[in-house]
């Protein structure tokens, strides 16, 4: 469910709360818009992320973790901690 290059990163940023698509795009700059859209759709299909569309002009779309998605918080934080230790090891 969280395999792939960008899903973990997207889930990590959504730990902070609701984010609009543009905000996610800025926080994951190396991910193309198309790939981010695909990853968000898959996360939504898996029940990890919820998508809210507001009837405004221009349309506003917000993403947030579901309760099921929030259950990944200790895993995501552990992965971040491991990554930071690994990065320090390389320097």
Tokens matching residue 88: 């320090």
Residue 21 clears pLDDT 90, i.e. is over it = yes
Average pLDDT over residues 6-26: 96
SS3 annotation, 24-57: HHHHCCCCCHHHHHHHHHHHHHCCCEEEEEECCC
Residue 83, phi-psi category: left (phi > 0), alpha (psi -120 to 50), beta (remainder): alpha
Tokens matching residue 12: 């990590």
pLDDT at 84: 94
Residue 4 clears pLDDT 90, i.e. is over it = no
pLDDT at 31: 96
Residue-wise pLDDT for 33-89, tens only, equals 999 999 999 999 999 999 999 999 988 999 999 999 999 999 999 999 999 999 998
Q: Which pTM was predicted?
A: 0.90
């Amino acid at each position: 469910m969280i395999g792939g290059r960008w899903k973990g990163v997207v889930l990590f940023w959504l730990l902070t709360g609701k984010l609009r698509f543009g905000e996610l795009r800025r926080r994951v700059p190396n991910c193309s818009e198309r790939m981010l859209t695909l990853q968000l759709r898959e996360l939504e299909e898996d029940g990890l992320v919820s998508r809210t569309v507001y009837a405004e002009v221009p349309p506003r779309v917000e993403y947030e973790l579901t309760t099921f998605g929030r259950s990944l918080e200790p895993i995501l934080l552990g992965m971040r901690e491991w990554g930071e230790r690994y990065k320090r090891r390389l320097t």
